[in-house]
Amino acid sequence: MLLMKFTALVTLAAVALTFVFSGKVGMMRRRYGVEAPAITGHIEFEKANRIHYNTIEQLVLFIPLLWLGSSVIGDVPAAGLGVVWLVGRLIYASGYQRGADKRGPGMIITMLASFGLFLAVVWGIIGELIA
């Protein structure tokens, strides 16, 4: 039996979103003739590539914090912060596609969700240590 059902669903959604962003990079490679292993070329390819890479970079922080957070604040609250993270990634991607200067709001939302999970984990660990 899976105890952290909502956390697991958010994890799967984050992985699925990363797959979608990866597919977009592949589509942009073909559309604009950017042959691997090149990581520069047409600006639309470069934006899609940065969205994907930045999401991977954020996953390294997010996934462990999400699961640690679920053990400290519970499945539903951690998953709720995870949904905020996902929304932030979507806003980030949408903004970045319009222009790199429009990626800020999504990045801020993403970082706030991750930082919220971080604080919850630190609070939980310190609470256990002093109890």
**pLDDT score at 1:** 61
Distance CA 84, CA 87 (A): 5
For the stretch 32-53, pLDDT in tens is: 999 999 999 999 999 999 999 9
Burial class (CB within 10 angstroms; exposed 0-12, middle 13-18, buried 19+) of 124? middle
- Beta-carbon contacts of 90 under 8 Å, excluding residues fewer than 6 positions away, are 17, 106
> 64: closest CA among 117, 130, 28?
117
**What string of DSSP letters covers 70-111?**
HHHH-HHHHHHHHHHHHHHHHHHHHHHHH-GGG-HHHHHHHH
- Beta-carbon contacts of 49 under 8 Å, excluding residues fewer than 6 positions away, are 25, 28, 39
Q: Taking the domains of the chain in order of start, what are their residue ranges?
A: 5-126
For the stretch 54-106, pLDDT in tens is: 999 999 999 999 999 999 999 999 999 999 999 999 999 999 999 999 999 99
CATH of domain 5-126: 1.20.120.550
| Global confidence as pTM | 0.94
